[in-house]
Amino acid sequence: MSEFAIRAEKLDAGDELAGVRGKFVLDEVVYLDGNSLGALPAAVPGRVEDVVRRQWGELRIRSWDESGWWTAPERIGDRIAPLVGAAAGQIVVGDSTSVNVFKALVGAVRLAGAGRDEIVVDATTFPTDGYIAESAARMTGCTLRPVTPAEVPGVLGERTAAVLLNHVDYRTGRLHDLPSLTAAVHAAGAVAVWDLCHSAGALPVGLDEHGVDLAVGCTYKYLNGGPGSPAYLYVRRELQDRFDSPLPGWNSHAEPFGMRDSYEPAAGALRGRVGTPDILSMLALEAALDVWDGVSIEAVRAKSLALTDFFLECVAAYAPADRVESVTPEAHAERGSQVALRCDDAGDVMKELIARGVVGDFRHPDVLRFGFTPLYVGFGDVERAARVLGDVLGR
């Protein structure tokens, strides 16, 4: 047994989150694709069967009331809130990340008010966020200004209406400085919108603490909500009575069953709802969130950093130095919960890794991406993944 395998055993033995692993459906595969799709929590299939067979099959329409379907968006939002550092009553679940980015960004421009006609967007953002930002700019008569997050403070001014940023870069795993960037946006009188897709469930976010205005995120990555599980929208309490959604659906009406000709938004974060909720996916997500009972996000962050530190150390020991290069920051304050390795033939390497039971993913043109979900990934998994990578690269 290698030195690293022995260390992995000791680290797993002392892992305070080790018991959570048993709450997931896992096999012999080392699953490091959690930043694209989290593993299945074991309680979800039974809960979904109940929703389908009893709530839908027997209670039918009565389930909107008796099974709590109608209140699911805000109820599940309150389950997510502690994981992103938000008090209850500020998050609603529903729609996709893309739809919520649109709602948040147009809503942000409307909050900013007259005279502000520029949207600043992260130039390295996930493509959809960029597409939505470009469309939102055209629809609101704004100019779109793409810059890197590091450049944001230098381009803010009295014309800036809203700034859309990613908390963690999806390619490199770089963690951006949410507190200081939010403060800079506010100092310029603009509205801060954050995409939390690659941070929620992996590290503390502190939405309330840092005064974030609006935030969106998906739930199928580190929150393990399932493929295509609904996203969420955060609207800071102090802004809720002024938040003007560009998608005023009947579900966000103050009297949804009044069927009024004119629209009157509901009070609070409920005005972030749009149409009829996707109940099957939403209640699967609710069941998935049970794995967080008794788990602190601080403990998750500590393990995440330990896992990624150990992986980088193992890769340095096992893999030929001239074959891979980490593009993920070494500094803990700048690292999310993934490691991205640059490799010339990354696509073929990832295919071989998957064939050997190590599942990560490939990002064009040359990045091997490994996501570490601390609730079910152990140090033994990390050592094995690095060792197999070394074997593949050393052939």
Percent of the chain with pLDDT over 70: 100
Does residue 103 have an active-site annotation? no
**Per-residue CA distances from 15 to 11, 18, 296, 379, 382 (Å):** 6, 5, 14, 9, 14
Reported as a single tens digit per residue, the pLDDT across 50-73 is 999 999 999 999 999 999 999 999
Dihedral (CA of 26, 31, 35, 36) sign? negative
- Asked if pLDDT for residue 395 goes beyond 90, the answer is no
Give the predicted TM-score (pTM) of the model.
0.97
Average pLDDT of the residues in 268-275: 96
Catalytic site residue from 4, 24, 102, 220: 220
Burial grade of 324 (CB within 10 A; 0-12, 13-18, 19 or more): buried
Does residue 369 have an active-site annotation? yes
Does residue 244 have an active-site annotation? no
d(C-alpha 137, C-alpha 131), whole Å: 10
d(C-alpha 286, C-alpha 299), whole Å: 22
d(C-alpha 87, C-alpha 81), whole Å: 6
Burial grade of 262 (CB within 10 A; 0-12, 13-18, 19 or more): exposed
- Asked if pLDDT for residue 200 goes beyond 90, the answer is yes
Average pLDDT of the residues in 37-51: 98
Reported as a single tens digit per residue, the pLDDT across 160-185 is 999 999 999 999 999 999 999 999 99
Catalytic site residue from 145, 236, 369, 384: 369
Percent of the chain with pLDDT over 90: 98
Catalytic site residue from 15, 122, 195, 361: 195
- DSSP line for 74-143: HHHHHHHGGGGT--TTSEEE-S-HHHHHHHHHHHHHHHH-TT--EEEEETTS-HHHHHHHHHHHHHHTPE
Average pLDDT of the residues in 297-322: 97
Does residue 126 have an active-site annotation? yes
Does residue 10 have an active-site annotation? no
pLDDT number for residue 130: 96
pLDDT number for residue 1: 74
d(C-alpha 83, C-alpha 292), whole Å: 9
Q: What is the pLDDT confidence band of residue 251, given thresholds at 50, 70 and 90? A: very high
Q: Are 292 and 362 in contact (CB under 8 A)?
A: no
The whole-angstrom distance between residue 186's C-alpha and the CA centroid of its chain comes to 23
329 preceded by cis ω (within 30°)? no
Phi, psi of 368 (to 5 degrees): -95, 120
Reported as a single tens digit per residue, the pLDDT across 127-153 is 999 999 999 999 999 999 999 999 999
Catalytic site residue from 103, 221, 236, 335: 221
Average pLDDT of the residues in 89-102: 98
Number of CB atoms found within 10 A of residue 390's CB: 18
